Chain A
Amino acid sequence: MTFRLGLIVNPIAGMGGTVGLKGSDTPEIVARARELGAEPQAPERAGQALGAIVAANVALDLFAAPGEMGEAEARAAGFTPKVIGSPVEGDTVAEDSVRAAQAMAELPVDLILFAGGDGTARDLVRAIGGQVPVVGIPAGVKMHSAVYATNPRAAARMVLRYMQGGISIRELEVMDIDEAAFREGAVSAKLYGYLKVPYLPGLVQGTKAGGVSRDRTALAGIAARIAEAMEPGRLYILGPGTTMRAVADKIGVEKTLLGVDLVRDGERIATDAGERDILAALDGTATIAVTPIGGQGHFFGRGNQQISAQIISRVGLEHITVAATMEKIASLRDNLLHVDTGDRALDARFSGWRRVITGYHTDTVCRVST
């Protein structure tokens, strides 16, 4: 069966960056950028990637979002795309992206190639989650998401390798940066969701090479280890991410993928808890269990700020469990973990080496940098 490739281009992604504006999500920013003479970036980047795919002369059916959201770029590169998802007058680019992606997932296509920034990645999370694997052509300014390839050529390579087979899929984090705070120079990230990305070491930003340990076994092992160590009466503060979700699965409770849940005596007592909820529940012994963000290595301060400095101090550093698969450890830059609790003095107490649980009966040690 001929390979089906979806194509979505966010034509306004990256426009802010060329004229010194951070981000280009809102119509105001876009207008300002155009005033300053900004040109769309994404179409050209998409064109580079498509050109590399055409040169490889492989058989595929290309499904493009309409107009300048993919169709135009595809034709320019020499494809005869099938257009999918009709544009709706007055809709934002984001809404059109979501509609196109959903239509592609329904077909289904085998892979979606998209050009954009973090915003576009979040649109895809909203639209399809992990239904179809995606490959990102970086075109935006805020490239916090590890789902983007290092450059358009690399993105093309990923598509071609995926078509050949022999390539893994993994779930990578999509972060949600607080736009307003970011434009003021502060970085504050929340974990938005996950996308499935074909994975080849070196191709995906923020990941060195990966180990190929069997993720399922490792996750199951981590989950069993943490679950079996749970003491009666003790509060467990489980951070976001798939690792902690695996722990929850093991105990038999639901877990918000992107939020902090509280567990005691095998029951979930709080869902997507904020700082206040956690403080309120902290009336005895407690353990915080978290997993670092792949690549960056933060286990506090990115995506789990609800677990505030105050909470960490009250629980105590010795009751913090950090867990990650060896694959994630291998993806860390320079094998370093990071903390950013907002309290410098508290951060400093973390510096040094820390044990990380990597499986049912396996650990590693990592240096924590502040």
Chain B
Amino acid sequence: MSTNKTGFQAARWNEALISELSEEGARGIVPPAVDAEIAAAVGDVAASLPPGARRAAPPDLPEVTQHRVLRHFLRLSQMCMGFDVTTDMMGTCTMKYSPKAHEHIARGAKLADLHPLQGVDSLQGLLELMYRFNRIMCEISGMDEFTFQPASGAQGIYTNACLIRAYHESRGDLGKRDEIITTSFSHPADAATPAVAGFKVITLMPGEMGFAGVDALKAAISDRTAGLMLTNPEDTGQYNPNIRQFVDLVHEAGGLCAYDQANGNPLLGVVRAGDTGFDMCQFNLHKTFSAPHGSLGMGCAAVGVKDFLRKFLPRPLVAEDGSGGYRLDYDQGEGIDKIRAFIGNVHAVLKAYSWVMSLGAEGLRAVAETAVLNNNYMLTKMRGMRGVTIPWPANNYPKLEQVRYSFEQMFAETGVTSHDVIDRMVDFGVQHCMPSHVPMLVPEPFTVEPGESLTVAEMDQMLAALQAISDEAYSDAEKAQGGPYNASTTRIDGDVPEDPDCWAFTYRGYQRKKPMWTSENRRKIERHDGGY
């Protein structure tokens, strides 16, 4: 049926839900046996629990034999396009190779089987690792101290917002300074987390160059300005060259500046947050620093601050103990409340540390420059693709790290949308690109971020897939709009997850609500055609 060039067909196991694989009496694993003496000494403790505490009936979990569980989840893994198996240029995600060596080190007992509270004397290796990486991140960013407590970029940015809040609170200014300025193309978390931290948010819209101008910032600054939180380069791949002026203007007004380095890959060894004047920053270790993305998590954020903000960092901090070892400083002082349990996703820290140690300073620079090189190669080729336009034509600068393209012209001429392209491209054996975060200011957006890991052949593979789809859009639009054809599942009824009468988030819910899916009485769903 399909004529895609690669002949790719995703695994389609039609693997049933695990709850449907249940067979009475099957066991997947037997828990450790209770010593006979213990059982004799204490008896059946469960049976003597007060009635209100005891479960009425066993949980309705499936009973599945061991190898079938393995097979089930292995099959599911085969229907998943991780970076390990295919080219992934998902914009804003900074997909890159997560070296296996680092995985293997992290899975050893000396990291995987550590308890965070087992006593500092027994965690010297861990603390040393964190301390060393702290120093490395300071050198990379121009900051003076790092914490790795936040478990994701969004949580790292939230930490920045809390630090800004603590700073102004310590000066008695919090009532007066209640506004954070951000931009429309910074990550949604740059607007969301200051709002959660209690700030008013002023969002600057892009000018004709695709980024906010200095005059827009000046209009937004006032004596209520608490700070600036933004991403640069932004999600469109455009670097705002006025960034230093932005920072200076906010400082003059008495605000602090937080640099969301989610798009920091092209700047490693090239530009430092500290040199740009920022007071604090955050990096995604699971993006830029190669820790694996983990199917949307094992995230970790490295949040760095200048010296004067060190006292506000959440506790504990890793410090030298004065006799050649390390300790955890739990002294709360002016530290902000804890952002996350314990000291952070240390496995991500280990992988990030290993990655930097493998590359060194020259390698880090090569990573940044190659990411930009690859990005502009993709740009050069995609520019010529029929139906593709680059927004903000006034901005002629090469783009860093990623490019937000537009399929507006293709849509006007053929009716094929960027979502159609996204759905169709998986037929070519590549992970799909992301359209855009909200607000989707660019019509029919399509954001491509090759990163530095891919070979020329892999980039050409992606280009060939997109070219094939473009050709198809102009010759057989209906075909282009009907994908995917060779994916792990057939096209779904997208209204069901949006309809309160139909959605189901558990097997229980699914069994109860499934009849509604085919009912005549289904309501018409007003959907938002977002980026997902």
Q: Report if A and B touch in the complex (beta carbons < 8 A).
A: yes
Task: Give A contacts to B, CB under 8 Å.
Answer: 1, 56, 110, 150, 153-154, 156-157, 160-161, 165-169, 200-203, 208-214, 326-327, 329-330, 334-335, 352-355, 358, 361-367
Are A150 and B412 within 8 A (Cβ)?
yes
With a 10 A CB-CB cut-off, give which of B208, B411, B445 has the most chain A CB atoms.
B411
Partner of B495, one of A150, A165, A212, A334: A165
CA–CA, A150 and B441, complex, Å:
18
Given A353-B216, A362-B202, A365-B202, does the pair A166, B439 have CB atoms closer than 8 Å? Answer: no
Q: Which residues does chain A contribute within 8 Å of B216, judged by CB atoms?
A: 353, 365, 367
Would B208 and A168 count as touching, CB distance under 8 A? no
Binary CB contact string for chain B from 478 to 500 against chain A (1 if under 8 A, 0 otherwise): 10000000000000011100000
For window 199-232 of B, CB contacts with A under 8 Å fall at: 199-208, 215-216, 218-220
Minimal beta-carbon separation of A143 from chain B (angstroms): 17
A209 and B202 within 8 A (CB) = no
- In the complex, what residue of chain A is closest to B220 when comparing beta carbons? A365
Of B24-32, B110-118, B378-386, B524-532, the stretch lying at the interface with chain A is B524-532
- Residue pair A209, B528 in contact (C-beta under 8 Å): no
| A211/B438 contact (C-beta < 8 A), A202-B444, A363-B200 known | yes
Q: Closest residue of chain B to A359, judged by CB?
A: B201
Selected contact of A166 from candidates B205, B208, B494, CB within 8 Å: B494
Whether A209 lies near B520 (C-beta < 8 A) is no
- A364 to B, closest residue via Cβ: B203
Residue pair A153, B201 in contact (C-beta under 8 Å): no
Shortest CB-to-CB span from B48 to chain A, Å, is 51
In the complex, A1 Cα to B207 Cα: how many Å?
A: 46
Give which listed residue, A56, A168, A358, contacts B478 with CB less than 8 A.
Answer: A56
CB distance A212 to B438 under 8 Å?
A: yes
B contact residues around A160 at 8 Å (CB): 415
A sample of 11 inter-chain contacts (CB < 8 A) reads A1-B520, A157-B411, A167-B529, A168-B528, A202-B408, A208-B443, A211-B440, A212-B439, A334-B208, A335-B205, A365-B202
Instruction: Tell whether, in the assembled complex, residue B524 and residue A110 are in contact, meaning their CB atoms are under 8 Å apart.
Output: yes
Cross-chain contact B219 with A355 (CB below 8 angstroms): yes
Q: Are B527 and A213 in contact (CB under 8 A)?
A: no
Cα-based distance from A327 to B443 in the complex (angstroms): 13
Instruction: Report A51 CB to chain B, min CB distance, Å.
Output: 13
How far does the alpha carbon of A168 sit from the alpha carbon of B528 in the complex, in Å? 5
Give A110 to B199 CA distance when docked, in angstroms. 43
Q: Kindly state the separation between the CA atoms of A346 and B179 in the bound complex, as whole angstroms.
A: 30
- Cβ–Cβ < 8 Å partners of B419 in chain A: 166
Q: What is the CB-to-nearest-CB distance from B311 to chain A, in angstroms, rounded to a whole number?
A: 28
A36 to B415: give the CA distance in the assembly, Å: 37
- B417 / chain A contacts, CB cutoff of 8 Å: 161, 200
Check B201–A361 contact: CB distance below 8 A. Answer: yes
Which residues of B423-450 are within 8 A (CB) of A?
438-445
Q: Are A330 and B195 in contact (CB under 8 A)?
A: no
The smallest beta-carbon distance between A59 and chain B, in angstroms, is 15
In the complex, the answer to whether A209 meets B525 with C-beta atoms within 8 Å is no
Which B-chain residue is minimally distant from A1 (CB atoms)?
B520
Cα distance, A361 to B206, chains bound together (Å): 20
Residue on B with the closest CB to A327? Answer: B439
Expressed in whole angstroms, the Cα–Cα distance for A347 and B503 within the complex equals 52
Name the CB-closest residue of A to B442: A209
Chain A residues whose C-beta falls within 8 Å of the C-beta of B527 in the assembled complex: 165-168
SS class of chain B's interface: helix, strand, loop or mixed?
loop
Known: A166-B494, A167-B527. A201 touches B440 (CB 8 A): yes
CB-based contact A364/B205 at 8 Å: yes
What mask results when residues 460 to 480 of chain B are scored 1 for a CB within 8 Å of chain A, else 0? Answer: 000000000000000000100
Which secondary structure dominates where chain A touches chain B? mixed
| In contact, A212 and B415 (Cβ under 8 angstroms) | no
What distance in Å separates the Cβ of B343 from its nearest Cβ neighbour in chain A?
33
Q: Is the CB of B530 within 8 A of A212?
A: yes
Contacts of A327 in B (CB 8 A): 439
Rounded to whole angstroms, the CA-CA distance of A161 and B416 in the bound complex is: 10
Given contacts A166-B494, A335-B206, contact A362 B200 (CB under 8 A): yes
Q: Contacts A153-B415, A202-B444 given; indicate if A213 touches B439 (C-beta within 8 A).
A: yes
11 further A-B contacts with Cβ under 8 Å, apart from A167-B529, A326-B439, are A1-B520, A165-B494, A166-B529, A201-B443, A209-B441, A209-B445, A211-B438, A212-B438, A327-B439, A330-B441, A355-B219
Q: A55: nearest residue on chain B (CB-CB)?
A: B478
The 8 tightest CB contacts between A and B, nearest first, are A211-B439, A353-B219, A202-B443, A209-B443, A361-B200, A365-B219, A157-B415, A201-B443
Determine which of B202, B208, B411 lies in contact with A202 in the assembled complex, contact meaning CB atoms within 8 Å.
B411
> Known contacts being A1-B520, A168-B529, A353-B215, is A212 close to B207, with CB within 8 Å?
no
Query: Which residues of B sit under 8 angstroms from A200, Cβ to Cβ?
Result: 417, 529
**B212 (CB) vs chain A CBs: closest residue:** A365
Would you give the shortest CB distance from A92 to chain B, in whole angstroms?
33
A167 to B495, CA, bound (A): 10
Minimum CB–CB distance from B216 to chain A (whole Å) comes to 6
What mask results when residues 154 to 168 of chain B are scored 1 for a CB within 8 Å of chain A, else 0?
000000000000000
Name A363's closest neighbour in chain B (CB-CB).
B202
A364 engages B526 (CB within 8 Å): no
Assuming A165-B527, A201-B444, is B205 touching A361 (CB within 8 A)? no
Query: Closest CB of chain A to B431's CB: distance in Å?
Result: 21
| Residue numbers in B under 8 Å from A367 (CB-CB) | 215-216
User: Max chain A CB contacts within 10 Å: which of B199, B218, B417, B525?
Assistant: B417
| CB nearest to B215 among chain A residues | A353
Among B195, B215, B415, B441, which residue has its beta carbon within 8 angstroms of that of A361? Answer: B195
CA distance A201 to B202 in the complex (A): 24
Q: Which residues of A contact B530 (CB under 8 A)?
A: 212
Residues of B within 8 A of A214 (CB): 528
Residue of B nearest to A352 (CB): B219
Residues of B390-428 at the interface with A, using a CB-CB cut-off of 8 Å, are 408, 411-412, 415, 417, 419
CB of B461, distance to nearest CB on chain A (Å): 29
Which residues of A are found within 8 Å of B200, using beta-carbon distances?
361-363
Inter-subunit contact A330/B526 (CB<8 Å):
no
Could you tell me the distance in whole angstroms from the C-beta of B138 to the nearest C-beta in chain A?
Answer: 34
Give complex CA distance A366, B415 in Å.
32
- Give Cα distance in the complex from A165 to B191, angstroms: 30
Return chain A residues, CB-CB under 8 Å to B528. 168, 212, 214
Contact at B195–A362, with CB atoms within 8 Å?
Answer: yes
Contacts of B525 in A (CB 8 A): 165
| Docked CA distance A199–B438 (Å) | 16
Q: Choose one: A56, A208, A352, A364; the contact of B202 (CB below 8 Å).
A: A364
